[in-house]
Structure formats: C-alpha cells, structure tokens
Amino acid sequence: MSGLNVLLKRIPYKFKTPSLLDSRAFIGGRWTPAASGATFPVYDPEDNQVAYKIANISRAEVKTAIGAAQTASKQYKQLTHRNRKNLLRKWTNLIKGNRDDLAAICTLELGKPITESYTTVDYGISFLEWFDGEIERLYGETIPAARGSNRIMTSREPQGVVAAVTPWNSPVAMILRKVGAAISAGNAVVLKPAPETPMCAIAIAKLFEQVDYPEGTLNIVTGDAAASVDIGDEMCHNPAVRHLSFTGSTSVGKLLNTECAKHLKKTSMELGGNAPFIVFEDANIQKAVDGLIACKFRSSGQTCVCANRAFVHHSIIDEFAERLQTTVDGLFKYGSVWDPDVNFGPLYSPRGVEKAMSHQEDAGGFIKEDLGPNFYVPTILTGGPSQEMRSWTQETFGPVMHLTPFETEEEVIKLANTKESGLASYFYTEDISRVWRVSEALETGMVGVRTGLVSACEQPFGGIKESGIGREGSKFGVEDYTNIKSITVGL
Ligand SMILES: NC(=O)c1ccc[n+]([C@@H]2O[C@H](COP(=O)([O-])OP(=O)(O)OC[C@H]3O[C@@H](n4cnc5c(N)ncnc54)[C@H](O)[C@@H]3O)[C@@H](O)[C@H]2O)c1
Ligand SMILES: N[C@@H](CC=O)C(=O)O
C-alpha cells in the first residue's frame, strides 16, 4: 500500500480533496521530491506512529526556490493593488472551501482535537480577510517640504523575497498570518514550515497554486531538524532574501537574527513568551478562573501567549485554586482527537511531554496512557515555583500551571517584569485606575485586561525585550513587509 493509502486508512476522516495531501516541496511553481530522494517522517501525536513521509530537501534546492521567488517578485510587484487583492480573495475562498480538509490535516499532524483545528483554520482565514482590506490601504503620504521649491511624497513598495520560518504549534494560522501579510504587501515568499507540521503548509500551497499568481510567488521548502539548519543558513546569507520573518523560540530567533545582521537584512521575530497572569484581590474570581483556563489550557498549553506564571493575591488564592480545579474538572472532555466533543488533546510530541514533566518540578507527571503516550492531564499546583525553577525561567508550553501568592501591587509588577521575555501579560481587577496603572507598568508587547485572549487579526501581535521584533496582524503586520520610498520633486 502507498504511503498515502496508509495515511488515509489510519484516520477516521474522508478527505474531500485528497490531492491536498502531498509529500513534495513546492519550488518555482512545481511539486518536487528531494533531488536526493531523501524523506523525513511526520508523526501522529495520538500514537507517535509515522503518519507520512515528506521530501527532505537540501540547500541547493533552497537556492533554487529563492531564485524562483526573486523572478516571481519582479513580475508580481507590477500588479496593481486591486489585482493583488483579487488574487488574495481567490486564495482565501479556496482555503475557506477546503476548511474541513485543512482542519483534518492539522488534527492529523499536530494532534489537535478537531474542534480546535477548526478554530486555528478560522483564525488563519481571519488574517487573510483582514489583509484583503489592507492591500488597498497601503497609502503613502505627502510631506510639506522645508525647501519651498520641492514636493515630497512617499510610497510603500514591496521588499522582494521574504523568507519565512514557522513553528508547529498553530500551523495554519501562523503560516497565513506571516505569508498572507508578505504576499499582500506584494512580495514573493519562500516558506520553511516546522518539520513536525509540514502537511498544512503543503495543503495551503496546493490551494495557492490554483490562483493565477506568477509561478514562484510562494515556495515551500521542507526539511527535518538537521535540514532546517541548512535551509535557515541559506535564507540568512542568500543576497536575494531581503527580509527574514521567523516565528519560534527565542534561542533560534537570536541565532537567525545574528546571521541576518551580517547582511543588514530586515528581520521580523515572533519569539517565545513567559506570560504573567495576575489576579488582584478585587477581581471577579470566576471571570479570572475562566480567563486563566482560556489563556493557559487552550491548545493544551502550547501557545506562545499562554499564561506561564500565575500570581494570585494571597487573600483569595485558596478560593481561586479550588474554583480553578473544579472548573477544569468539569470542562474538559478527553478522548479521540477526531471526536467533535473532545476539547483537550495530547501534546505535540514526546519532547513536549518531557518538558511539561520537568516543569512539574517534584510533583511527578500526569500522563494518561489509555489516551496515548503524549496525553498530559491539565495540572494545577499551588505554592508557586522558586525563581530558579524551570517553570519560572522557561516557557512550559504544556498544561502545567503553578499558582504563586503575592501581597502588593508593587511586588507583583516587579515579579512579572523579572523575565527577559516580554510577549503577553494578563491581569484581573475591577479597579479602573489599577487597569491603567498596571497596563502601563507591565513590560510586554500585549496586555490582556480582564481577558485571557489577546489574539485577533486586527490587533498588533508581538513582543518586546527578548520576545521579538515587529508586529504581525493589524495594519502594522502588512506595513512591516514594505519599504517606504520618498520621492522629492523639484518644481
Ligand atoms: N511570538 C509568536 O508569535 C509565537 C508564535 C508561535 C510560537 N512561538 C514560539 O515558538 C516556540 C515553539 O515552537 P518551536 O518549538 O517550533 O520553536 P523552534 O524555534 O524550535 O522552531 C521554530 C522553527 O524554526 C526552525 N528552526 C529550528 N532551528 C533552526 C535553524 N537553526 N535555522 C532555521 N530554522 C530553524 C524549526 O524547524 C521550526 O520551523 C515557542 O518558544 C513559542 O513561544 C512564538
Ligand atoms: N497561536 C498563537 C500564537 C502563539 O503561539 C496566537 O496567535 O494566539
């Protein structure tokens, strides 16, 4: 039986368009296996079995992809903004029309419960719809010239070739948020998806192919962890790449940023977080409980904006912990990720399990073997970690939440700001002056006040300090992929 038939047999879902499943890279408008014939495995997180094998390409093929993107970008940038918008709309409609299959691929390779996969596909679509509106709003300005005989105006031009590297944790949305913005701004893209989740990227490109973009406007270069290092290195050093846009860990982001700096390439860096979640003594406790659950336990704790350090005022911490545990116990339904009633799935791989377990410090691990090797039960621990413990110093990226008591606003702001990361933070209070005071004091790019969800296509998404450079989504997310040109005309 072929690899594809094995794949189709192992899941309880019938694809409407099975051709979205492919094992090849997409280079210069052509589907291509690795020149060497090499492949790498994609695992199903429900049982850690190999689900499919994907082309493991080499550096030479990445060079070809970048060359194809360069040629395409010259053609593509000639199109009017209206034409670009029409193309984007066709692609978006194809993605919407294949929503079921895309969600199924996401569930297959990431182990997300199918209802969560629909949420991430819809979140991805929301970015394309937002960028559709932004394409024709990429305005320039006229500027009063100090020299009266001159007139100055600006325009926003495409940058050329954008190289993009994305993580596994939300494969459809993270790709569309980045690639959608770069293409809306008139660029061609070479995308390297995470080795754990290349199939969503391939399916997205299969739909892109059906739109009349110049060949090579979107290229997908697939590789395992070792090949990713070579692919990344080529992206950083190839002179045709003008902008490297990365989403992933801070350590890899720093490395790529350092390499790009050698050529003064523009970078966008959407990196790791270590979000504080603060519950003040005047908070509505049940709202704060619900907010923490939405923030911490969605995607089984595997998002960059998940709460990582929860601080609860000492006077309410016992009640908060009890209500949190009771609500969690009543909320989650476990089982097959293909069951639409299931709302909590396994971690993406044994590496995720290992990390979550190490962040429980001495409390032991909570794996439910009957639900698969990567199934980790949502875990709440009181007493708080010390500042040397891993669950304080690193992102857990799993469903383990320690609650730490605090006494004063001043103390908790200091604790929240101790980290070098600065992506998202959250707090709950009913005091309006505290809302402003604390929002302004927290050192993060995004603050959620009385909400555990800050992600939306219209909102600038990104961090400060070691959590990144630039913003995704919103009008800023598209502008980031343009160069401002100023033209001075003498009368
Ligand atoms: N700020 C955001 O918007 C955002 C969004 C999602 C995830 N993240 C962060 O991503 C991390 C989780 O994702 P991950 O484990 O996939 O991160 P990761 O940094 O290990 O991998 C991210 C991507 O980089 C690639 N990569 C790894 N080493 C590389 C190298 N030397 N050269 C080129 N590419 C390389 C990987 O193959 C993958 O495609 C977390 O830290 C999370 O907070 C941030
Ligand atoms: N999926 C996240 C990003 C980080 O993981 C979001 O945009 O909410």
pLDDT tens figures, 408-434: 999 999 999 998 999 999 999 999 999
The CA distance from 200 to 376, in Å, is 24
Nearest CA to ligand 1 atom 38: 194
**Ligand located closest to 196 CA:** 1
172-227 pLDDT, tens per residue?
Answer: 999 999 999 999 999 999 999 999 999 999 999 999 999 999 999 999 999 999 99
H, E, C per residue of 161-213: EEEEECCCCCHHHHHHHHHHHHHHCCCEEEEECCCCCHHHHHHHHHHHCCCCC
Pairing of strands 161-165, 241-247: parallel
What pLDDT does residue 1 have?
A: 60
The binding-site residues of ligand 1, defined as CB within 6 angstroms of any ligand atom, are: 165-169, 174, 192, 194-195, 228-229, 232, 247-249, 252, 255-256, 270-273, 304, 395, 423, 463, 468
Active-site position among 109, 116, 270, 395: 270
* Token digits of residue 436: 């402003």
C-alpha triplet 147, 153, 159: angle, nearest 5°: 135
Q: Are 165 and 246 in contact (CB under 8 A)?
A: yes
Nearest CA to ligand 2 atom 8: 455
- Which atom from ligand 1 is nearest to the alpha carbon of 193? 39
| For residues 142-171, average pLDDT | 97
- Which atom from ligand 2 is nearest to the alpha carbon of 454? 8
The CA distance from 165 to 256, in Å, is 10
13-31 pLDDT, tens per residue?
Answer: 999 999 999 999 999 999 9
For 278, the 3-state DSSP assignment is strand
Does the model's ipTM exceed the 0.90 cut?
yes
Is 455 close to ligand 2, i.e. is its CB under 6 Å away?
yes
82 burial (CB, 10 Å; 0-12 / 13-18 / 19+) is exposed
Helices (H) and strands (E) in the chain, counts: 16, 21
The structure's pTM equals 0.97
What is the C-alpha end-to-end distance of the chain, expressed in Å?
74
Q: 167 C-alpha vs ligand 1 centroid, how far in Å?
A: 5
Instruction: Say which DSSP state 482 is in.
Output: E
Residue 33: CB atoms within 10 Å: 15
Pocket probe mutation, ligand 1, options 178, 196, 271, max atoms within 8 Å of Cβ: 271
Is 303 close to ligand 2, i.e. is its CB under 6 Å away?
yes
The CA distance from 481 to 484, in Å, is 10
263-300 pLDDT, tens per residue?
Answer: 999 999 999 999 999 999 999 999 999 999 999 999 99
**Ligand located closest to 477 CA:** 1
C-alpha triplet 409, 411, 417: angle, nearest 5°: 100
Nearest CA to ligand 2 atom 7: 455
Kindly provide the residue ranges of all beta strands, DSSP E only, lying in 260-321, ordered along the sequence.
266-270, 275-279, 307-313
**Residue 270 a catalytic site member:** yes
Query: Percent of the chain scored above 70 by pLDDT?
Result: 99
- Which atom from ligand 2 is nearest to the alpha carbon of 167? 5
- Could you tell me which residues are beta bridge partners of residue 422? 464
* Token digits of residue 346: 């396994």
What pLDDT does residue 57 have?
A: 97
* Token digits of residue 235: 């992206």
Where would I find the H helices in 188-308?
198-208, 225-237, 250-261, 285-297
324-350 pLDDT, tens per residue?
Answer: 999 999 999 999 999 999 999 999 999
The CA distance from 468 to 453, in Å, is 19
Residue in the structure block whose two tokens are 């992933």: 248
Helix (H) or strand (E) holding 353: helix 350-359
Q: Are 458 and 480 in contact (CB under 8 A)?
A: no
pLDDT interval class at 359 (50, 70, 90): confident
Q: 475 C-alpha vs ligand 1 centroid, how far in Å?
A: 24
